[in-house]
Chain A
């Protein structure tokens, strides 16, 4: 760049010569003036005026120390303390050895002794000082994030690697700091305010890492990386970060990977910290979590489940089980319907709980494929019940969040019904309460269309979402399924029982059937029957059954009736 501007663009850089002696100014100006435009000042006051006036274009200051009004040391001090002016290099003019040390400590780039060196030496020192300053500025611009002033990721990683090379056995923590739901800050307050928040957060991080002799960078968006000596607690950092944005409320979460093995590289350490940070999302317990190997093992396990899902579907590792629902309105409870529940019998991993794979598939959108598999298997089962026993046993299937937004949902369900020569009333659709409350307009539209097609819709896990009583009267549902959490203490806690009774009464008033999930004890069954519940689903009557056992149950039921 130096050559580009100096020779190719024919732009002269500016140099300021500051000395109270006219002869010295002229002598130096004559030497430097061959290659630079020269400005002059007689004392420190004039010097600062010239510097401020030419701040953007001044390349160098050549500064005498002993001057009236304001001496060279004062000028150096002022330049050093100015964020805008400290970038301008200074060469001190002095014959005093003792002054050299003080000048350098005040930020002088170099010094020229008096009497002056030969012109060639002076020019070489001038050129070198300007080159170094310009290279440093260029480096600073590329190594720093322009918004926050922290390092950018590439330089940060480079410096961390370098640190590790010099101190391979050091005990350092890699931190990944993320601002929870930062997109909401941008949406509520605007992007300018959002950027201001990021700067404030970065300031806290910079101060923290400086105090800890560590490093920090802004990775992307609202994610920051820190590399600091290990400590057991980061409460102070969390507190400072959460209060950094003033009136704008923010909460951070931090994933930390402690380096316990010198063979673990920087990238891997930050990968682990990122994993811990990501897994920590939504946790209210603590703002930071340390990575441990179980997190990585879990991550690898989940990756395996995702990888093997398609083959598992093809090779029928997924089995649909059916948990009977018992109608308890009559004298004797009778199985009249069921819920389809997916099970994964993996050839190597054995039985995999739905709690392990369903959240993973939901997060990745693959639940879409699994649901269709379940709908098809369920429809096939309903068909078999009709063919074998002449029985219409409605079975409910889950409709996930991903499915609700699928514009082809209605078409797919109707195709499934048609393929197995069923009626829409044969397959019940279960949609969780939280989906109703999160996306009520979309849900209402979708469910209304499905009910118009003849499907019956059940609100699943009622009690776990945020629906109000007011909403219940306007939501299109046919069945209310009370979540198992309601059943847990109805035997010993009167308030819990009264709450269940209240919900059953409201459902009755609205003309909606009720199903109580998770019933395990006889006492619960009796209480629910007395309270007016219509259907019970739970281990008290039956666990989820594979197809043959499910069919056998209805065979026995039929033979009892005959």
Chain B
């Protein structure tokens, strides 16, 4: 069962996230569960495979907003970095970055 403590252990800034949710714990946890069921990371993987940086930018930009609003720091940080790289269409090892994000995401989903 997902709890605030588990999210803290994961590295999320739950106090900040809770403040945005008016300290409504169940509401916050529902939103976090919704984020767990989001399929955008799968689409991101495909966009990276296809070198579609525009599509990749849109997805990471969107996820950045969601993760930062929920203060899911371990996810927010790499996604933010990827967003800026995609925005400037910089050549980088996106596969490696993506793998890191997926690793953390899987860890997140298993909370």
Q: Which residues of A contact B (CB under 8 A)?
A: 20-24, 26-27, 30-31, 34, 66, 95, 114-116, 118-119
Contact = CB atoms under 8 A, between A and B. Distances in A.
A24 B22 contact: no
Given A21-B65, A116-B69, 16 more contacts: A20-B62, A21-B62, A23-B31, A23-B34, A24-B66, A24-B69, A27-B20, A27-B21, A66-B58, A114-B65, A114-B69, A115-B65, A115-B69, A115-B71, A116-B20, A119-B19
A27 B62 contact: no
A119 B68 CA distance: 15
Contacts of B64: 95, 114
Contacts of B20: 27, 31, 115-116, 118-119
26 contacts: A20-B62, A21-B62, A21-B65, A23-B31, A23-B69, A23-B70, A24-B66, A26-B31, A27-B20, A27-B21, A27-B69, A30-B21, A30-B24, A30-B27, A31-B20, A31-B22, A34-B22, A95-B68, A114-B64, A114-B65, A114-B68, A114-B69, A115-B20, A118-B19, A119-B19, A119-B20
Contacts of A20: 62
A36 to B, nearest CB: 14
B35 interface: yes
Contacts of A24: 65-66, 69
Interface in B37-67: 58, 61-62, 64-66
Given A95-B65, A114-B68, A22 B34 contact: yes
B27 to A, nearest CB: 6
Q: Give chain B's interface residue range (CB within 8 Å of chain A).
A: 10 to 19
B68 A27 contact: no
- Those 10 A-B pairs whose CB atoms lie nearest each other, nearest first: A115-B68, A114-B65, A115-B69, A23-B66, A23-B31, A21-B66, A27-B69, A23-B34, A116-B20, A118-B19
Contacts of B19: 118-119
Contacts of B27: 30
A21 B59 CA distance: 11
Nearest to B67: A115
**B interface SS class:** helix
B22 A30 contact: yes
Contacts of B62: 20-21, 66
A291 B31 CA distance: 74
A400 B102 CA distance: 104
Contacts of B24: 30
Interface in B1-35: 19-22, 24, 27, 31, 34-35
**A23, A24, A30 pick with most chain B CB within 10 angstroms:** A23
A498 to B, nearest CB: 96
Among A21, A34, A66, A95, chain B packs the most CB atoms within 10 A around the CB of A21
Contacts of A95: 64-65, 68
A115 B76 CA distance: 11
Nearest to B87: A96
A388 to B, nearest CB: 112
Residue picked from A24, A31, A34, A115, most chain B C-beta under 10 Å = A115
B83 to A, nearest CB: 9
B61 A66 contact: yes
Contacts of B31: 23, 26-27
A119 B27 CA distance: 15
